[in-house]
Amino acid sequence: MLFIGVQTLLIFFLTFILTISVVQWWRGRTSFKQKYPGCKLPPGPRGFPLVGSIFSLGRNPHLTFMEMAKKYGNVFTVNLAGQNVLVLNGFEAVREALVKQSTVFAGRPHLALTQELTEGQVPPSGIVSADYGSIWREQRRFTLQTLRNFGFGKQSFETNIQEEIRCMLDEFRATSGKPFNANHVMETSVSNVVCSINFGQRFQYDDPSFEKLVQSIYRFSEIGTNASAVNYFPILRRLPFPDLKEVYEIEKTMKSFMYGMIESHKKTKKPGINRDLIDGYLHEIDRRKGEGLEDEASKSFNEVYLYHTLSDLLFAGTETMSSTLRWAVLYMIKYPHIQAKVQEELDSVVERDQLPSWRQRSQLPYTEATLMEVQRVANITAIGFPHKTTEDTQLFNYFIPKDTSVFINLYSVHVDSSEWENPDEFNPNRFLTKEGKVYNHPALMPFSAGKRSCPGENLAKMQLFLFFSSILQKFRLTTTPSNPDPSLEKHYAISLCPSPFEVCAYER
């Protein structure tokens, strides 16, 4: 009797949930038709009651979305735990949204995890997660202008980068050709470049607090996508969810480090002197207060927003940069004939006792094309941070309501067979013209596109080129005897990462 009672109760409960879900779906469908008569929404899978298609995405949602696109087209809608999300695949759809309708698709949805990590602010602060509007525009404008004042992305900043490169090359040299994992030294080196902008200083590779900071950034990149489940199941915030708990601990580490830096700068800053981004921002806070500016954008200039801006720059400048370099090293040891061709070109242009310079880039087209192909094939930003529509719009004859969350599948752009011949093949020549000059293919979008493209794109391009060319100029890279054929399998996290591998670096 007890078994029958429990079974009956379970059937009743499931029927009740299913009925409620169907009623909610019908009401939403009817409400949409009443509000937007004659409008056509993008198609998509129906999914299951309550959870939608969220458990159908698997470990590689970028690949799942590409499979869905074969059935529903490159513009479709997927239900994720009750939230209808627009998914865009392929170059044409992504360009239409991010470039041709850049303002319309420049918004950011309010996500539960982001709100938690930005101290409950609505809207969240920071360059990456803040919604499109006057505050975000003013904060981004000021940050970019301040960074430019420090030579950000300009040839004058090259000296700072090369100083860090020399330290990294010394670490390579110390291995004496023995197998080693280059991850740590590349992570700390590229992070130090951003630290010199943010904090006005570099750190020793064995500095305990700096090591902990870099490790925290990489741990977040590994588990951040798992913790983002709270965006669709907010109840996880109240449960002992391990990955979410660890994310909160990582955030404490980041805050402790950077608020410590901010406090130190407050004690030592001098009027009219900007040593770094923190000084520039603190002086801007003082200026706006001193002038009595009370507009919304001026009020947003505070230490909390400063922290999140520093965090965004440090994360992007550390994790995405070093992930790209890891892939570059891996592809060079997998394709030694391409590595040799890059080195032949470098030897013909760069003096042996010098490091490659940014101004020599035009003389090194094959080197630059190889790095561009690494970015395309490595494809580290598979989906990226969600966008949101800022107004009602049309996209390929589909109606897209205001405040629709949007996933941009950049991975699909970089393997779009309508744009790339043999997209699975590693071939730097696709970025070279018949005359041997670099061809900037519009479908190469490693930094995204439009108004929400990476603000550090200019610096990133310079940094990647200088690090990559310097490593290959000074060292011949090979696989190790224990792993002569390392895997090119991609592991989905905040960035697509390669499997751990070791490399041998022989000084040339």
Closest of 342, 397, 393, 395 to residue 368, by C-alpha = 342
- Report which residue type is found at 30: T
What is the Cα 244 distance to its own chain's centre?
20
Tokens of 335: 């394709």
Cβ neighbours of residue 378 under 8 Å, at least 6 residues apart?
Answer: 323, 324, 327, 328, 331, 490, 496, 498
Beta bridge pairs of residue 87: 76, 407
- Report which residue type is found at 54: I
3-state secondary structure (DSSP) of residue 387: strand
Closest of 311, 104, 122 to residue 220, by C-alpha = 311
Give the DSSP H or E segment for 145. helix 134-149
497 is known to lie in a ligand binding site:
no
Tokens of 442: 């519009």
Q: Report CA-CA distances (Å) from 399 to 38, 348, 392.
A: 10, 55, 8
Closest of 244, 255, 185 to residue 213, by C-alpha = 255
Radius of gyration of the chain (CA): 25
**How far is Cα 265 from Cα 274, in angstroms, rounded to an integer?**
10
**How far is Cα 508 from Cα 163, in angstroms, rounded to an integer?**
20
Cβ–Cβ contacts within 10 Å for residue 147, how many?
A: 23
**How far is Cα 245 from Cα 235, in angstroms, rounded to an integer?**
13
* DSSP 8-state assignment for residue 74: S
Beta bridge pairs of residue 75: 88
Residue with tokens 């990226």: 384
**How far is Cα 85 from Cα 384, in angstroms, rounded to an integer?**
14
Cβ neighbours of residue 233 under 8 Å, at least 6 residues apart?
Answer: 81
**How far is Cα 308 from Cα 299, in angstroms, rounded to an integer?**
15
338 contacts 370 by C-beta, under 8 angstroms: yes
- Alpha helices by DSSP H, 415-456: none
Dihedral over alpha carbons 364, 366, 368, 374 (to 10 degrees) = -160
**How far is Cα 148 from Cα 137, in angstroms, rounded to an integer?**
16
259 contacts 307 by C-beta, under 8 angstroms: yes
Residues at the binding site are 454
Residues at the binding site for heme are 454
